[in-house]
Chains A and B, each alone.
Chain A
């Protein structure tokens, strides 16, 4: 094999990040990622950041329904009589 053809483990870890957090990886892939994360603070920091980011996006994107809209929706119900 030509020198330099091996995949950079951090690059591989970056590729696995989303599937790892979505719990979509196979057992073998997950184990591979965990071994790398145990020894690589560069990737570990970025994984933690991604986890926090998802939580933050979920929280930041929420806008509560305007109170009068619920009444407008209720008014759309079929009259009983």
Chain B
């Protein structure tokens, strides 16, 4: 049974305050990494900032439900992606209605056809694509696919973490990642070669 001495309650409160402060500091230390993912899940910097503030406000309120020793970054991202979905930022067609993506060699082949054949010995992607090309191609990828690409390819989350964050099966993470990367390459081809 718990202690019943008069000193027990203040001590418990002090310990709780110490744990909460530690949690808040750890969460704030991860803010840069969480923002990098948040920024690419939404369209504008303002939306990303709002989402971050809502996420941290909720995380600080719900800190007691975090299991110490588990992945705090994934826990924060789970709150963030749920908020993003709840806020109805999904106006695109469902994945099933999306046109089929092209094959994995599509972008390379398009660059080659356009006379921008990548150097055989040294593949310098940055000589042919710009940062803006990537950002705008990524934003054109439907949300369900983009979420997975952003978590795995930009946020460095494992398939298992991404599955947990998005609350979808791991097989769905893998298939969306495969299709999403192909859609991204099709978008890159359209934006770079298509405009030549």
Contact = CB atoms under 8 A, between A and B. Distances in A.
The yes or no verdict on A and B being binding partners is yes
B124 A60 contact: no
B32 A49 contact: no
Interface in B102-118: 103-105, 107-108, 118
Contact of B52 (A24, A51, A64, A69): A69
Contact of A73 (B52, B133, B135, B174): B52
Contacts of B150: 61
Nearest to A18: B178
Which range contains the number of B residues in contact with the other chain? Answer: 35 or more
A69 B35 contact: yes
Contacts of B124: 52
A36 B8 CA distance: 70
A70 B17 contact: no
B109 to A, nearest CB: 8
Contacts of A24: 174
A69 B24 contact: no
Contacts of A73: 28, 31, 52-53, 56
Nearest to A51: B123
B138 interface: yes
Contact of B49 (A15, A69, A77): A69
A74 B60 CA distance: 10
A52 B57 contact: no
B167 interface: no
Interface of A is mostly: helix
A55 B123 CA distance: 11
A77 B129 CA distance: 41
B42 to A, nearest CB: 11
B39 interface: yes
B39 A63 contact: yes
Contacts of B40: 61, 63
B176 interface: no
Contacts of B108: 45-46, 49-50
Contact of B153 (A14, A58, A76): A58
Contacts of A77: 21, 24, 28, 60
Closest 4 CB pairs of A and B: A60-B134, A65-B35, A60-B131, A52-B123
27 contacts: A14-B104, A14-B105, A18-B178, A24-B174, A45-B118, A52-B123, A52-B125, A53-B107, A53-B125, A53-B129, A53-B185, A55-B125, A57-B134, A57-B153, A57-B154, A60-B134, A61-B134, A61-B135, A63-B36, A64-B35, A66-B45, A66-B49, A69-B35, A69-B49, A69-B52, A70-B28, A74-B28
